[in-house]
A and B are shown apart, each in its own frame.
Chain A
């Protein structure tokens, strides 16, 4: 059980702040940081339950309060411990971890969670297809059972990080004779398996951040199925909820992120200042600060064990703001806003948002309202699940997948 689902009373049953601190200190006695091998240190940290203290013992945690993670981080930072870098494995941390913890077997958790957390094994997400994006349940990749294995044929697109991933979250159709949401099953796919072919796709930044993945007779053992046969939709929904959250988590300090870059540009270019731009910059500051406080409030509610409906709202606003702020930044820059660092085709290196070039930020931000559920789809989610507005009439819900027009 995670901190999200446990009430404050249950959380209080886990170790308290001083106990957690003791555990960290004890751990550091056995694992001195001086000259430590990074990977060995991180593995031991996971085994000691100090990866994320709110998770259960055995899954990298201690069953403690979510707030107490800060105790661990502060103490480890103070002694210069090898750094944990979630950005090395964003889909692993943001989606695979939560999905496996919620739907996976104990054996699956044991096999995958530790190397996921240490970053040894990166993950990707094989959901979208040429014919199925927003309408994910319309996907056509087929998985057919043969004894203890499933044989998968299909084509996935826009798969970020497929080129470096060791494992993939895969949704495939296992029964085309039932309505589309009911015929899906969720798997973990070995990206090194025979029949997996990854072809880079170039995006508007020039880079090959995402890929096309062809699955040609890939064999997946039934033990790598996550959830029941036919339950793939429910499991995928769980993954997507986490995706919307993972794009946004962490309360940043004021002026971090794009708004800080915009203010820096404003300061560096007094010659570009006009009254009109001034008001737009300040207006964006207001919106960015509001978004920051919204995330902070949401995290406070999470810590109290009351996840609010803000996840989708936060993602929507984050996308819009990234786009507007980076656009105004180019206008403030003027001449420099006309330049771009490098369009040559290459795999991108993960760089913190504000350290990337302004032109790259502007272009990359256009994806923020598409990846992880488009802003249109998220508005529908907010309208129906948060506000309780009725769904649109649908023609595809009760018809067998095989009879749908495609």
Chain B
């Protein structure tokens, strides 16, 4: 048993000036190109993912490959900056494939694949990891049949696959890159609870692709990439939670009933305060995870699980409170709140639910369950 006495160092949990500048740039772009009415309208079109916006984010702000070294076509920054971008994308529920592409980036970096990284960094190619969106880091992979590098089988509910050009498929102990134009690959977008981040079902029928890596490294690399995904997802959840609080507070200040602003009623004020307290904690947790990811700290598995275990219920509660505090308008299609409720709900399931992350923490920290011994 490890660890009860150990206390890993706590890095810088603040936002640096560079990070704040990046945030401002991303927010300005999103304000122009992804106001909530635009985001809502897009969900009912044939192209729910905004590829043009994604290209701008990638090409002009370097958001698609922040932690990738400059000689590989990236921005030479770190996952800390990527997390700040995730916060802003969450705040806007922007329909761009940032999360899926970030997981793919982490995976490609881990297996040392350069060609795909370049296309990804420029925003020209969208790359997604073909595992079910709901699976937690390190969870067993969907078994796929591999026969002479031809892959067959179903992977349901893949994150950011609907718009993907390339799928990264772990199968038969190897990792393959499959072009979606391959005749053996079929990607079927699902009607998704979270309209701003649709999932898609992947069906492979003797599909062929390039083998990128083989052996035990594959499973480890996939888990590590999912862990990066968990860290960024937490940042995105922080962005959603903050936006929900902001929307709720603005409404409570503005809306009058019984001859006074709603926010002057203590029952409502205290609920908003509770949310603010929770979000204060969530910020520290999300920053810690981002810093661990950026520095490759040995505490990263704990930090990532902690981040998911804390941020999932936080974002969900923020979105649910935001809806309730808006009353009837909060329940209408033509208003912003349901976009956040749906995003927070999917976030709580994507990359593992909070209880799975708590169970993972139990193992990592040496806090055994009833049947186990330590």
Seen from chain A, the residues whose Cβ lies within 8 Å of a Cβ on chain B are 251, 253-256, 260, 263-264, 266-267, 270, 273-275, 278-279, 281-283, 285-287, 289-291, 293-294, 296-297, 300-301, 304, 310, 313-314, 316-317, 376, 378-380, 382-384, 386-393
Contacts and interface: CB of A to CB of B under 8 A. Distances in A.
A383 B13 contact: no
A347 B309 CA distance: 42
A300 B261 CA distance: 36
B14 A304 contact: yes
Nearest to A271: B370
Interface string B91-109: 0000000000000000000
B181 interface: no
B358 A383 contact: no
Given A289-B306, A390-B261, A390-B264, A379 B7 contact: no
B23 interface: no
A267 B373 CA distance: 9
Interface size class of B (residues with CB under 8 A): 35 or more
Contacts of B14: 297, 300-301, 304
B113 interface: no
20 contacts: A278-B362, A282-B358, A286-B358, A287-B310, A290-B282, A293-B281, A294-B283, A296-B13, A297-B13, A297-B283, A313-B280, A380-B273, A384-B269, A387-B245, A387-B263, A389-B261, A389-B269, A392-B264, A392-B265, A392-B266
A90 to B, nearest CB: 24
B252 A293 contact: no
Interface in B228-286: 245, 249, 252-253, 260-261, 263-266, 269-270, 272-274, 276-277, 280-285
- Across chains A and B, which 5 residue pairs bring their CB atoms closest together, nearest first? A253-B7, A389-B263, A383-B269, A297-B13, A382-B273
A192 B368 CA distance: 55
A148 to B, nearest CB: 45
Contact of B306 (A256, A266, A270, A290): A290
Contacts, number: 142
Given A282-B367, A379-B274, A291 B281 contact: yes
B284 A290 contact: yes
Contact of B367 (A263, A378, A384): A263
A278 B276 CA distance: 28
Contacts of B18: none
B192 to A, nearest CB: 28
A393 B374 contact: no
B288 to A, nearest CB: 5
Interface in B171-214: none
Contacts of A301: 14
B41 interface: no
Interface of B: 4-8, 10, 12-14, 245, 249, 252-253, 260-261, 263-266, 269-270, 272-274, 276-277, 280-285, 287-288, 306, 309-310, 355, 358-359, 361-362, 365, 367-370, 373-374
A389 B253 contact: yes
A267 B374 contact: yes
Contacts of A317: 277, 281
Nearest to A264: B4
A259 B296 CA distance: 26
A316 B370 contact: no
Which has the most chain A C-beta neighbours within 10 Å: B269, B277, B309, B359? Answer: B277
Contact of B253 (A254, A291, A388): A388
Contacts of B245: 387
Secondary structure of the A contact surface, majority rule: helix
B266 A380 contact: yes
A382 B10 contact: no
Contacts of A314: 280
Contact of A382 (B261, B266, B276, B285): B276
Contact of B7 (A255, A316, A388): A255
Contacts of B370: 273-275, 278
B288 A293 contact: yes
Nearest to B252: A389
Contact of B310 (A260, A281, A290, A378): A290
B176 to A, nearest CB: 36
A192 to B, nearest CB: 42
Given A382-B276, A384-B269, A387-B272, A300 B249 contact: no
A261 B265 CA distance: 39
Contacts of A287: 281, 310
Given A253-B7, A286-B361, A383-B270, 18 more contacts: A255-B5, A266-B367, A270-B373, A273-B370, A281-B367, A285-B367, A290-B281, A290-B282, A293-B10, A293-B284, A293-B287, A294-B281, A316-B277, A317-B277, A379-B269, A380-B273, A383-B269, A390-B260
A401 B188 CA distance: 72
Contacts of B263: 383, 387, 389-390
Contacts of A382: 273, 276-277
A310 B265 CA distance: 23
A134 to B, nearest CB: 13
Which has the most chain B C-beta neighbours within 10 Å: A255, A281, A285, A289? Answer: A289
A390 to B, nearest CB: 4
A213 B227 CA distance: 58
A152 B263 CA distance: 40
Contacts of A266: 367
Nearest to A391: B264
A290 B246 CA distance: 22
Contact of B270 (A264, A300, A376, A393): A376
B4 A260 contact: yes
Contacts of B276: 313, 382-383, 386-387
B13 to A, nearest CB: 4
Contacts of B306: 286, 289-290
A384 B6 CA distance: 39
A259 to B, nearest CB: 10
A184 B230 CA distance: 53
B153 to A, nearest CB: 33
A279 B272 contact: no
A289 B362 CA distance: 14
B244 to A, nearest CB: 13
A264 B4 CA distance: 9
A264 B373 CA distance: 14
Which has the most chain B C-beta neighbours within 10 Å: A264, A270, A304? Answer: A270
B281 A380 contact: no
